[in-house]
Amino acid sequence: MPRPILVRVARVLAAGLVLGACLLPVTGAQAAQLWVAGAENGGDDANSCTSASAPCRTIQAAVDKAPWGQASSIQFVGCGTFAPVNVYYYKFIGIVGNDGDLSCITIQPPPGRIAVTCQDHAVVTLQYVTLAAAGSGSSGFYGRQYCIADVVDVRYLGFPGGLHNAVTENSRLNCGGAVHVAGGAHSFATASDFSTVTLNCRLVVAAVPFASAFVTALDARIEMAGATIEDAGATGPQFAVMNSVLSKGKVVLPGTAPGTADRHSILR
């Protein structure tokens, strides 16, 4: 059974830290437990969603039923592909797939939509899931307005004409475990408007294209000097930053073209 992973959320928010710095297992006494399943496994949004025998049909219904201001863990009965989800306004949510199996749970938006949205002081952790687009112009993860998010052992398939990850408006994104980038996009991660992306995890990148750059930033910060990158031959620019800070140390970013930075940016 996959383990819940949200813990000590109040401390994270108070310290202004990314949630991945303090992920620990939790028990039912520490976090609300909610369950989701496909219709073939008994999923119904009219259910209480508080047990594996009465799961929601959609992740969104489970998020909507999660208590305000309390850590909640959403787990799954069986495998399946699920519709996009929006985590909002002081909801603290962990979406946890099947331990170690990234092919079991997929979140797939229709063309032009976002798989997972985090906004308005929400906290989100994704673990053991795949994000995949159903068409052009979709994006995997989008955080805005003080969102704090972690992607831990997550797989990204192709997002043609879209982004794998984007954070804006004072938001933060961190990665953990092994993040598999199995499909291309305009960019794997982009940050803007005083947001921070921290990619100090293991990044396993396939031979896929990044049209804009692997990472991009505008008035933001990207930290990845502690990353371990396994690049099979991704194409495109390594980075593109404007009025931003990119800390990469000796890490060689995926891409076949050198990065670009305007004179107001800091590279270190």
Q: Is residue 3 part of a domain?
A: no
- pLDDT the model gives residue 91: 95
- pTM (two decimals): 0.89
The total number of structural domains in the chain stands at 1
- pLDDT the model gives residue 143: 98
The one-letter amino acid code at 195 reads S
- pLDDT the model gives residue 100: 84
Q: Is residue 257 part of a domain?
A: yes
Q: Is residue 2 part of a domain?
A: no
Q: Is residue 4 part of a domain?
A: no
Tell me how crowded residue 38 is: count the other CB atoms within 10 A of its CB. 17
Q: Is residue 242 part of a domain?
A: yes
Which residues in the chain come in under a pLDDT of 50? 1-29
Answer yes or no: are the C-beta atoms of 85 and 119 closer than 8 Å: no
Burial level of 50, CB count in 10 A (0-12/13-18/19+)?
middle
Report how far apart the first and last C-alpha atoms of the chain are (Å, whole number). Answer: 42
- pLDDT the model gives residue 7: 37
Range of the domain at 61: 9-267
Residue 154's domain is classified under what CATH number?
2.160.20
Q: Is residue 167 part of a domain?
A: yes
Answer yes or no: are the C-beta atoms of 251 and 227 closer than 8 Å: yes
- pLDDT the model gives residue 193: 98
Q: Is residue 99 part of a domain?
A: yes
- φ, ψ at 257 (rounded to 5°): -120, 145
- pLDDT the model gives residue 69: 84
Q: Is residue 73 part of a domain?
A: yes
The one-letter amino acid code at 33 reads Q
Q: What would the pLDDT profile of 105-125 be if each residue is shown by its tens digit? A: 999 999 999 999 999 999 999
